[in-house]
Structure 1
Amino acid sequence: MSETFTPILLCLLSAVTVATANFVVKRGGDVLSARMVLALTSALGMLPFAFFVPLPEPGLWPPILMAIGAHLIYQFCMIRALHRGDLSLVFPVMRGLGPMMTAIFAVIVLSEYPGALGWLGLSLAAAALIVFALPERATAKARKLNQTALVWALLTSAGIGLYSVTDAYGVRVAENKFTFIVWLFLLDWIGTTAVTVWTRRGQLVARLRPQLIGGLIGGVASIVSYGSALLAFSMTSAATVTAIRETSVVFGAILGAVFLKEGFGKRRIAAATVLAAGLLLLETDI
């Protein structure tokens, strides 16, 4: 029982903290600069652990580099989505479709095949999460902007599926799974930082200063979130981890309701109920 319950707790912890990280990044305004601070904070926070884990064995470097590439694709698409749409619009779409994308990639790469109930649960969960993104009302200009944001959110969901599978593969083939986790964090900041320094040149300090507090909070939350998810990847299927982790949209909606005064509404309560049912079906099928 505890072997099943532990990865579920890790996934729920990951869900709460990933929602927190995305909330503080979006609230900061300049998403790219905030992501740079977040990535650097995560790397610095993980640095002490590098002295307590073995160095990556030669065969682990290709999975680490593949994972870093997948994370860079995901972060690029996510930054574009958050710049072009409200958190309450793009976050549910990109996280809601993530489990479906992960399941598809897991079939191809990891040979993980959910059964009929698993696919039904994934479909229900994805549909419920997308309901969070349906706008109440919008002008023609807002709808045009939303369409662009949704395209990037869809691409972000593909990035989630890609990095979930590469990370699951890496943590499973590593002789010491903590080596993979630590070194992924230690190197993951390079791409985002390089892009930020290049695009914000001449105004980098001014852009970074307002993002420091949010980025620091997000960095700590990111360590907890993805560290928990990577541990869960080593205990259960990638699709299960991603599906439970994407309950983060519920926590994101709660953060929006409390701090941004966004209404939760009957529609989102109903969607959360369907989401729970979908995840229950998935867990029953695994």
Structure 2
Amino acid sequence: MLAIALGLASALTLAFANLAVKLGGDILVGRAILSGSAALLLAPAALFVPLPDAATFAALGWAWPAHLIYQACLIRAMQRGDLSLVFPVMRGAAPLLTAIGGALLLGETLSAAGWAGIALASIAVIAFAWPAGGAWRAHPDAVALGWAAATAIGVALYNVADANGVRAAPSPFTYIVWLFLIDWIGVTLAALALRRGRLAAALRMQWRSGLAAGALSIASFGAALYAFSLIEAAKVAALRETAVVWAALFGARFLGETGGRRRLVAAVVLVAGLALLQVAG
């Protein structure tokens, strides 16, 4: 029950964190502020958790590039498409990929009903990607969807890497804290290189939304990482991806995005598939 509660809480805060970044305007700067502020907020905790050992550093060595790939693809997807479109695709496809990765790399197994739940969720993801006119040729959101699919691969990679990390570390909190302490480096260097003279102005405009997103990121991802130490990675991913319903609602309510009803129905179907995965095991 604790793992389920953590997964659902992670879903809501995940959607809020991405809404805050999207509202900020410059997605790259917003992600840099999110990662940097999360690291600063958690830095004092490094004094109170067990020190990382060789296994922890080895796990972080696998996780950091996975998170970097995820962030790079996420930024491009959110720059190109609506939050209510790209977020469900990138998050909804991730449980299937995580389940496959967990089976191949972590020795985890799912029942036939569990795989059926993932299949239902995958159908819902296709519904999100389906063009309004039904014509796939010259799809208006093809580039955004491509980046969203790449982000889903990044999510699956870091889910598997992080599940291994929290289990290998002296304490799950050791891995959680140290992951946040290194996660900011890549995206911050990218912002410094690509924004240069515009970075200071962007920081002044977006520091509030970025700071809020950083705090939400700690709550969201910290809860998910601890849940990885309690139950299978695929189940945590499934619970966390219920955030797609919130993203569909937030996109329509706060960002004025179109396609709200169809995307909301698809989001509910997606959550139904993920719930089946959770119940079936």
Instruction: Return the letter of the residue paired with 2:99.
Output: A
The yes-or-no answer on 1:175 pairing with 2:170 is: yes
Distance (Å, rounded) in 1 between the aligned partners of 2:263 and 2:142:
21
Q: How does 1:16-55 map to 2 (within 5 A)?
A: 16-55=12-51
Q: In 2, are the aligned partners of 1:105 and 1:161 still within 8 Å (CA)?
A: yes
Cα distance, 1:266 vs. partner?
4.5
The yes-or-no answer on 1:125 pairing with 2:121 is: yes
Q: 1:259 to 1:266 in 2, by over 3 A?
A: closer
Q: How does 1:131-150 map to 2 (within 5 A)?
A: 131-136=127-132, 143-144=139-140, 146-150=141-145
The yes-or-no answer on 1:257 pairing with 2:229 is: no
Q: 1:237 to 1:36 in 2, by over 3 A?
A: same
Counterpart for residue 206 of structure 2? 211
Instruction: Return the letter of the residue paired with 2:95.
Output: P
Cα distance, 1:276 vs. partner?
3.8
CA distances 1:178-212 after superposition (whole Å, capped 9, x unpaired): 10000001111011111110111122101222211
CA distances 1:187-242 after superposition (whole Å, capped 9, x unpaired): 11011111110111122101222211110111011000000000110111111111
Q: How does 1:93-242 map to 2 (within 5 A)?
A: 93-136=89-132, 143-144=139-140, 146-242=141-237
Counterpart for residue 10 of structure 1? 6
Structure 2 gaps, min length 5: none
Please tell me the root mean square deviation across aligned C-alpha atoms, in Å. 2.1
Structure 1 gaps, min length 5: none
Give aligned-pair identity as a percent: 51
Instruction: Return the letter of the residue paired with 2:37.
Output: T
Cα distance, 1:34 vs. partner?
0.5
Distance (Å, rounded) in 2 between the aligned partners of 1:267 and 1:84:
20
Counterpart for residue 67 of structure 2? 71
Cα distance, 1:109 vs. partner?
1.0
- In the superposition, the TM-score normalised over structure 2's length comes to 0.93
Distance (Å, rounded) in 1 between the aligned partners of 2:239 and 2:106:
19
Distance (Å, rounded) in 1 between the aligned partners of 2:248 and 2:121:
16
Higher mean displacement: 98-107 or 226-235:
98-107
Q: In 2, are the aligned partners of 1:46 and 1:182 still within 8 Å (CA)?
A: yes
How many residues are aligned here?
A: 281
